[in-house]
Structure 1
């Protein structure tokens, strides 16, 4: 008897429907074809043990299973559940043979319980797109899949529950999600608020500009000046995620299995990998490519503390994703792309000793040592960082000051207002939502300068020997500063402030 059951294969952050054809005929043998990997091939042992433990058996006949399309590699143990249902139905042990409207995925334990899988959200999205009306998943995955409207999502705790459901003995109930709270992003940053930061008003201003325009920022300062503390508070002033951003971010985290029992991701990611991270862990890859830290930080923040301590080759692989906001991983037989539109926030000391050259009695590094230290970060990478800001230690008077600084909520409201201006500006341009995403063509449209501003920028370009990319970055930052002031056009003071945030373009630390 031939039975067709449907599963799904995740490729990148998208899924493809897999048709599992199970045929049982006279003879002996278990034949699984359709380019399965070892984990899929081993399913026969898990299935046999699970069936025996719930009172069923693996038929002692010739079982032929084809997983179509046969030219697409099938990976992982998530096909255990549909394979088992197909075998039971084809052998007549399950009184149901029509699964045309059902998508089934799950890993089996030997006792028949169902274990969670990766990629439940993209699987559910594709199931809905392909016309399926029901999807059966492990209970840990149903919250993320239930985000997809128009699809009945069922939680399966044990394969016996699924068998009873298909035979009409004990029906499973579809999972329900309350829409009124689904996309309401929480804003609880009570422990990480800018109100707790003493002094550092110029740094807060730079972070506000970075948040308002989605710009990359580099904080340079000695130990204890507050670089990490400030960076960790940046999410508290970022605008809430839109529905589209939440769905796309959740899909990426779903692929690596990080949203079980969570549902929709509503807070912007904040990823802070250690400086010993490899290039594969940072940008993604492996034999079977998985998203890296830059993709897990999509629509959020990637914080690289002690930037020069990262291996140079690791930092260099970020250059293309920073520019294209997408990382493409190529292998001999396939290519996978992951979105990586993130804000890069990095911190570093100004020298190997940790201090600026003009800090009397503190700096012990020679000019040659400082040049060698700074050269660990390439010029092309620095060009892609919009704001370079010096962070100086807070004087005692500021630390002892009892007054309360401006709260994150107040700053966040200004950032939201600036982002709304940008959303309106780019509403006709697909995939562009804030100033940092502007390509050169849009810069020429929305960043027009008057003669005074143009002369000021020309002088800075010539004196600092800036590249064409740095020129574009200055214009983008100036546009954001103007948006924070709700100004229609970029004025000279906006250009002047944007130029100030190019510290590493000035040869100031190696001078004694």
Structure 2
């Protein structure tokens, strides 16, 4: 008997429906075709043991299974349940009248229990688009898939529950989640809060500006000055994710199996890879089926690179194109996968190898030559994509011991959100432009007009502080954000003056 059941394969962050055709005929043997990888080919052993341990069996006949389309490579053990249900239906061990209405996915253990899968959310979205009514999957993934409405999500713990469901003995209860209620309930409770940071008021102000305009930022300071602590709190002052952004972000994390019982992600991601990370781990890729890298896992959030000069230069250089295009394309001989990567880059570094350059109270010092060599590990083109450079100084004891709480992230976020709303209104007619950091030269000339007094101020600053040419447009972008925070239509001299402070690495004596 021939039976068709349906599974799904995930490529990039999109799913493709896979038709599993199971034919049982006279003869003997088990033949699996349709470009399966090793994990899929080994499924017969897991299926056989799982069925035997639940008082079912593989039929002693000739079993031919085709996974169509046959030119797409099928990877992973998530097809175990699909194949097992197909075999049971084709051998009349379960009823199969409405089986074409189901997408079925799950990895089998030898005792018949189901293990979680990757990509449950994009699979559920595709299943709904193609008109499937039900999605059977492991219970650990049910909450994640239940984000999608208009399809019943049936989470099972064992294959026995799935068999009972098809036989009508005990139906699996659908998992139902009110996505909007869950999302808005959790959106205003950040894990890290700026209220916990002692002192560093000027740096907090700088972080607020970066968040308001979506600007990339680099923090330069000695060890223990609070760079990492400040960076970890940046997501808490970014505007709350919209429901669409939350779905996009959850899809990417679903592909790599990082969602499971969490359901919809409501906080912006914060990723902090170690400096030994490889090109592929950062940008994404892989031998057969490319996986998203850290820059895509940071989509709609923050990518924090601690001790930036310690990263391999080749690793840092692969970020240049994604920082501009807000997406990364990974090409292979037979296909190309595109992952979104619209993130804020936050980097930190010591000013010198010892970390205490020009500190008269430190016994460890570095010569200007050592410092210059250390800083030159960061290329000019990469630095060109970082709008704000700020020096972080250690917090004195008096402020560390102060019991008073600082301003909370929720209060700062209100100002940031108001500034972002101004930018959204300003750029509503321009495609793919949402906040100030995304402006190109043409937009800067249009939206950053200066008075004669402001022009004279920036000219004087560039001459006296030996600012490089790359600093000019960055200063204008940042000053536009500062004006938005002040709810000012025009860029005033005080906005320019503050923005000039945030270009430390362009000054003579740093990178030249």
1:194–1:233: 8 Å Cα contact kept in structure 2?
A: yes
Q: Distance in 1 between matches of 2:167 and 2:405?
A: 65
The aligned residue for residue 95 of structure 1 is 95
**3-state SS of paired residue (2:71):** coil
Does 2:413 match 1:412? yes
Does 2:196 match 1:200? no
Deviation at 1:498, TM superposition (A): 1.9
The aligned residue for residue 349 of structure 2 is 348
Closer, same or farther in 2 for the Cα pair 1:61/1:431, shift >3 Å? farther
Q: Distance in 2 between matches of 1:42 and 1:403?
A: 61
The aligned residue for residue 272 of structure 1 is 272
**3-state SS of paired residue (1:475):** helix
1:36–1:75: 8 Å Cα contact kept in structure 2?
A: yes
1:357–1:510: 8 Å Cα contact kept in structure 2?
A: no
The aligned residue for residue 334 of structure 2 is 333
The aligned residue for residue 69 of structure 1 is 69
Deviation at 1:425, TM superposition (A): 2.6
Gaps of 5+ in 1: none
1:3–1:97: 8 Å Cα contact kept in structure 2?
A: no
| Normalised TM-score (structure 2) | 0.94
Closer, same or farther in 2 for the Cα pair 1:384/1:509, shift >3 Å? closer
Q: Distance in 2 between matches of 1:263 and 1:455?
A: 54
Closer, same or farther in 2 for the Cα pair 1:438/1:144, shift >3 Å? farther
Question: What's the C-alpha RMSD, in Å, of the aligned pairs?
Answer: 2.1
Does 2:482 match 1:481? yes
Q: Per-residue CA shift, 1:72-130, capped at 9, x if unaligned?
A: 11111111111111111112222214422211111111111111100000000111111
**3-state SS of paired residue (2:163):** helix
Range 167-176 or range 143-152, more displaced: 167-176
Q: Distance in 1 between matches of 2:3 and 2:449?
A: 65
Closer, same or farther in 2 for the Cα pair 1:107/1:396, shift >3 Å? closer
**3-state SS of paired residue (2:67):** strand
Deviation at 1:215, TM superposition (A): 1.1
Deviation at 1:378, TM superposition (A): 0.8
The aligned residue for residue 466 of structure 1 is 468
The aligned residue for residue 189 of structure 2 is 188
Q: Distance in 2 between matches of 1:295 and 1:141?
A: 21
**3-state SS of paired residue (1:78):** helix
Deviation at 1:8, TM superposition (A): 0.5
2:357–2:365: 8 Å Cα contact kept in structure 1?
A: no
Count of paired positions: 509
2:241–2:267: 8 Å Cα contact kept in structure 1?
A: yes
**3-state SS of paired residue (1:277):** coil
Q: Per-residue CA shift, 1:435-467, capped at 9, x if unaligned?
A: 223344443433333344345445556674635
The aligned residue for residue 136 of structure 2 is 136
The aligned residue for residue 366 of structure 2 is 365
Closer, same or farther in 2 for the Cα pair 1:17/1:360, shift >3 Å? same
2:107–2:117: 8 Å Cα contact kept in structure 1?
A: yes
Gaps of 5+ in 2: none
Q: Distance in 2 between matches of 1:402 and 1:60?
A: 75
The aligned residue for residue 33 of structure 2 is 33
The aligned residue for residue 377 of structure 2 is 376
The aligned residue for residue 55 of structure 1 is 55
Closer, same or farther in 2 for the Cα pair 1:321/1:182, shift >3 Å? same
| Pairs within 5 Å for 1:103-502 | 103-179=103-179, 181-184=181-184, 185-189=186-190, 192-287=192-287, 288-357=289-358, 359=360, 362=363, 364-458=365-459, 464=466, 466-467=468-469, 470-502=471-503
Q: Distance in 2 between matches of 1:93 and 1:400?
A: 71
Q: Distance in 2 between matches of 1:236 and 1:225?
A: 20
Range 228-237 or range 260-269, more displaced: 228-237
Q: Distance in 1 between matches of 2:490 and 2:275?
A: 41
1:6–1:103: 8 Å Cα contact kept in structure 2?
A: yes
